[in-house]
Amino acid sequence: MIFFCFDSQAQDVAIKVLQQGISYSDSSYYDIIPVEDKFWIGGKYGTLKSIDTEGNLTNISYPSQQLDIYKLDKFDEQTIIACGDRGIIYKHNLQTKNWQTIKVKGYENACFYNMVVVSESEIYICGGCSAIAHSKKTVPNGFILKSIDGGITWKKIYSNPFKMVWCVKYNPFNKKVYALMYTLNKTHLYELDGEKWKPKNKIGNSIFHEIQFVDADNYVVTGGWMGKMGRIYSNSEKKILPTSGLIWGRVEGNKYDIYSAGNGQIVVDDKSGNYQVHGVKLNKAFNIYETVFTSDNTAIAIGSARTVLLIKIADRTKLVMNHL
């Protein structure tokens, strides 16, 4: 008996535009995380919304300062923490419904661009000059702050006027904290060793916006150039996508990994290194900033100008023919 197996490499990905704006000045969505049975979205002008798996959006009432929200995280099982522009931090208790607004003195002209909660007594925030987050060219004045009291007070543990700190991340496999620091045309990965940040690796000659760890020693970083090519780098492989634009982030699923890209595009990998770019035509070349899986085969992606995409991935099937 002879078996012939035909396995197409094409991916079957359907993308539905749930909503989008008409110009770049429209409110953007920057981050999305699961909260209870829905997902919370933070964004420009203090936007805070919830969305369900069907794409139904609801405004969340909170003491907004009308400042951009860049990052959402879980402080503990009952508390959400968010950071944003002009040194603003919010904490929300899901049980009591109480909100706490924290304004970090001395950072009124800075953006809190990224954040990681290691534990209730160890939180890190990174960023730089507020103008950087608003696509303006200026001295970045990058920094990293640390809080040991749940985000109430903060201590500066790194600063450099010539580096923008795009990302701070905890590696749960080796219990260490890392940061991606960008200076003109190069990004380095730094490791926190005691109280000092030590250079670990030179990642590449472009912005690398996000890093995720797959074990104690290996990672995946995403970046590239706005409106040009995207980069997905690991310790062992460098993948360049000529038409994707900058790769903003990555979400790992059980069957697929999805990378958020530029111009209404995402990149899907079926865990085999088969990276393929998929996209939809939007009103303008709006970026897709973050994606979250709602099931093994469905996801929600968010981006600039209020863009929300609903994604459905059909599993590839192998056609097997028996010939006697």
CB atoms within 10 A of CB 24: 14
113 with 188, same domain: the answer is yes
Note whether residue 283 is domain-resident. Answer: yes
* Of 257, 245, 246, 248, residue with least CA distance to 299: 257
pLDDT above 90 (res 6):
no
3-state secondary structure of 201: strand
Give, in order, the Cα–Cα distances in Å from 207 to each of 89, 166, 194, 223: 26, 9, 26, 5
User: If pLDDT is split at 50, 70 and 90, which confidence band does 9 have?
Assistant: low
Sheet strands (E) in 172-270: 176-183, 186-193, 196-204, 207-213, 219-224, 230-234, 238-241, 249-252, 257-260, 265-269
137 with 254, same domain: the answer is no
114 with 164, same domain: the answer is yes
232 with 201, same domain: the answer is no
pLDDT reported for residue 174: 97
pLDDT above 50 (res 50):
yes
Choosing from 205, 236, 266, the residue where a domain stops is 205
- Tens-place pLDDT, residues 201-234: 999 999 999 999 999 999 999 999 988 999 999 9
- Tens-place pLDDT, residues 156-212: 999 999 999 999 999 999 999 999 999 988 999 999 999 899 999 999 999 999 999
Note whether residue 234 is domain-resident. Answer: yes
3-state secondary structure of 130: helix
Give, in order, the Cα–Cα distances in Å from 267 to each of 16, 238, 275: 15, 15, 6
229 with 189, same domain: the answer is no
29 with 80, same domain: the answer is no
Averaged pLDDT for residues 36-53: 97
pLDDT reported for residue 320: 43
pLDDT above 70 (res 323):
no
CATH of residue 118: 2.120.10.80
Give pairs for 163-167: CB < 8 Å, separation 24+: 163/128, 164/127, 164/128, 164/132, 164/140, 165/113, 165/114, 165/126, 165/127, 165/128, 166/113, 166/114, 166/126, 166/207, 166/208, 166/209, 166/210, 167/114, 167/126, 167/209, 167/210, 167/211
Hey, what amino acid is at 247? I
153 with 256, same domain: the answer is no
pLDDT reported for residue 230: 97
19 with 145, same domain: the answer is no
Note whether residue 233 is domain-resident. Answer: yes
Question: How many whole angstroms separate alpha carbon 90 and alpha carbon 100?
Answer: 6
259 with 288, same domain: the answer is yes
- Tens-place pLDDT, residues 67-84: 999 999 999 999 999 999
137 with 261, same domain: the answer is no
The parent domain of residue 90 ranges over 62-205
pLDDT reported for residue 317: 64
DSSP 85: B
Averaged pLDDT for residues 141-147: 98
Task: Dig out the tokens for 112 from the structure.
Answer: 């809190």
CB atoms within 10 A of CB 31: 23
138 with 184, same domain: the answer is yes
Note whether residue 301 is domain-resident. Answer: yes
Question: How many whole angstroms separate alpha carbon 147 and alpha carbon 143?
Answer: 14
129 with 244, same domain: the answer is no
Note whether residue 248 is domain-resident. Answer: yes
Note whether residue 23 is domain-resident. Answer: yes
pLDDT reported for residue 135: 84
Mean pLDDT of the chain: 93
Question: How many whole angstroms separate alpha carbon 311 and alpha carbon 298?
Answer: 5
Note whether residue 49 is domain-resident. Answer: no
How many domains does the structure of the chain reveal?
2
- Tens-place pLDDT, residues 265-302: 999 999 999 999 999 999 999 999 999 999 999 999 99
Share of the chain above pLDDT 70, in %: 95
Share of the chain above pLDDT 90, in %: 88
pLDDT reported for residue 134: 86
Note whether residue 185 is domain-resident. Answer: yes
pLDDT reported for residue 57: 97
pLDDT reported for residue 10: 73
pLDDT reported for residue 136: 87
Tell me the pTM. Answer: 0.92
DSSP 1: -
pLDDT above 90 (res 3):
no
